[in-house]
Structure formats: structure tokens, C-alpha cells
A = this chain, B = another copy of it.
Amino acid sequence: MPPFDMGRVRDKGAAAETTPCGACPVRTLTVCAALEADEVRRLADIVQMQRMEGNQTIFAEGDQADALFNVTSGTVKLYKLLPDGRRQITGFLVTGDFLGLAMNESYAYSAETVTPTSLCRFPRRKMEALLDEFPKMQRRLFSMASNELAAAQDQMLLLGRKTAREKICSFLLMLSQRQSRRGHKENPVYVPMSRADIADYLGLTTETVSRTFTQLKTSQAISLQEGNRIQIADMDGIYDMAEGV
């Protein structure tokens, strides 16, 4: 056992922690991709690596927003709560995603890890100073925010107008497309989150999520595999069902 174990022991890419950004394996996926070598070094000066287990709170809605994050591995969920405990998950972040786009002085949502996760932590003030220096980075961040906004609108369409089956199919396709954009195969789809998380993301209950998976399984459209993976057998069918065709 090492003298300190902030979780680094299980990180195969631990080199990233000693040379924080230059050797970062996910740099091309994220904000940092916009930067030159010397700019990356400036970023490395202010960044702190952070590793967390699953189901840990990163920050809570209303907390003073004094840091931004970049997810370098793992999955994170963002959510908002109603006073009586009803929860809406507004997004799942994966490797390369930026955490902290929507915030003023305080965070507008809570963030929790789903799986064990590595984060780059940027103190907010220093980050803002850096943004003023590097318009390219600012631009990149703006473009990411634009994409987020477009995704948010898709999600509104889903929540407001789609049936349970359409929601589940859309969800599977979203995960599939996301992992293929990240350079993985589109199939099988890795689904690390619980039924409860899926339900709170899609505006359903865990029972309905479960029943809908069963239906899709029975109709041979998908098959559940080990390790939280789902094989989409009938990709075209799922596509059509996602839009109600």
C-alpha cells in the first residue's frame, strides 16, 4: 500500500498525474485540444488531478462555484432535485466532457460520480484569467456550450413528447453514438448507470425502465450482456422506435 492512496493506485494512466496535461491521453477530446504546447503548460500549472470512487458527490446544487472540472475517465451524473425529493438527471458526462458550463456564483445542479472517476480540477478564478488570455480556449468552451444547448433541446423533446419506449431507444442510441464518437465500437453499448439513474434521466420510474428493457429484449431488438452492456440487435428498428416511426 502506498503512503497515500487518494485512489491513484487503481489508475493505469497514473503518468498523467505526474506530467498533468502534456501527457494527458484524453487531451484531444476536450477544451485542452485548442491549446498550444506552452498554453497547455500554463493550464497544467493551475490544474489538480482528483480521483473518486463511484457514487460520490463532486458538488451540490447551490454550492459556491469555485472550481470547474474536466472528466478524464469515468462517468458523472448531473441532477436537480425538487423539495420532496423528486430528481431529474440532466446529463451524464464521460471522458473528455467539461463540467461547469452552466453556473454563476453557485452551481445550478449537483454532480455525482456514477463509476470511479478521474477529474482535472481548475480553480475558477485562475481559469477565468486564463480564458481571457486564450481566446481560442474561450471559443472552444463556447462551442461546447452550444453543443450542450443543442443536446438539452433534444432532451426536452424527449422528456416532453416521447413515450417510454421511445425514450429508452433514444437513450440507447445516444450512448451508442457517444461511444462511437469517442472511437469505440457502436455496439454493444456500455450502460454503467443504475435503472434508477436511467429513470430519473428519462422522466420515468425504475419499474417502467425495467419493463421496457424486457419488452425490447423479448422482441429481439436488444440483448442484455454481462458487465452492464447492451447489444443492439436491430439498430434500424431501434432508430425508428426512438422517433416513433
Contact = CB atoms under 8 A, between A and B. Distances in A.
Contact of A83 (B86, B150, B155, B243): B243
Contact of A153 (B102, B200, B245): B102
B203 A150 contact: no
Nearest to A84: B244
Interface string A69-99: 0000000001010111011101000000000
Given A135-B138, A142-B141, A156-B159, A102 B149 contact: yes
Interface in A117-172: 131-132, 135, 138-139, 141-142, 145-150, 152-157, 159-162
Contacts of A103: 146, 150
Nearest to A61: B153
A23 interface: no
B156 A102 contact: no
Contacts of A148: 149
A160 B159 contact: yes
Given A101-B146, A142-B141, A146-B103, A244 B83 contact: yes
A161 B88 contact: yes
Given A149-B149, A153-B108, A160 B83 contact: no
A32 interface: no
Q: How many copies does the complex hold?
A: 2
Contacts of A101: 145-146, 149
Nearest to A148: B149
A159 B244 CA distance: 19
20 contacts: A80-B153, A80-B156, A82-B244, A84-B245, A86-B161, A87-B161, A88-B156, A90-B152, A90-B157, A102-B149, A132-B135, A132-B139, A138-B142, A142-B142, A145-B146, A148-B149, A152-B156, A156-B156, A159-B203, A160-B200
Given A90-B152, A101-B145, A141-B142, 16 more contacts: A80-B153, A80-B154, A83-B243, A86-B161, A88-B157, A90-B157, A101-B146, A104-B147, A108-B150, A131-B139, A132-B139, A138-B142, A152-B153, A152-B155, A156-B159, A160-B200
Interface of A: 78, 80, 82-84, 86-88, 90, 101-104, 108-109, 131-132, 135, 138-139, 141-142, 145-150, 152-157, 159-162, 200, 202-203, 243-245
